[in-house]
Amino acid sequence: MARIALTVGADEFDRLFLGVEFAEVDGDILYVLALNEDSANELEEKYATHIAAIASHILKRPIDIVMVLPKQLTLQ
């Protein structure tokens, strides 16, 4: 999370990444859960590429797709 915070800045990080969960990796897809639909859409539109690059580096495997879903659409 610290790496993405450096990329997006403190205020944007606090606003968008509050409650974000990096849920699962399936092949080259990283599933991310956001608090709500608006946050999910904004994260995916603005930061999917950054998240993929950082995740690829950390996981040492290619992450080509970041799917950000709102938590309320997932079964828990």
Question: What is the residue range of 28's domain?
Answer: 2-73
pLDDT of residue 25: 97
Q: Taking a C-beta distance cutoff of 8 angstroms, is the pair 66, 55 a contact?
A: yes
What does R_g of the chain's alpha carbons equal in angstroms? 12
Amino acid identity of residue 23, one-letter, is A
pLDDT of residue 74: 55
Split at pLDDT 50, 70, 90, the class of 23 is very high
Three-state DSSP state, 33: strand
Split at pLDDT 50, 70, 90, the class of 3 is confident
pLDDT tens by residue, 24-44? 999 999 999 999 999 999 999
Is the pLDDT score of 75 beyond 80? no
Q: Taking a C-beta distance cutoff of 8 angstroms, is the pair 18, 43 a contact?
A: no
CATH number of the domain that residue 57 is part of: 3.30.300.180
Is the pLDDT score of 72 beyond 70? yes
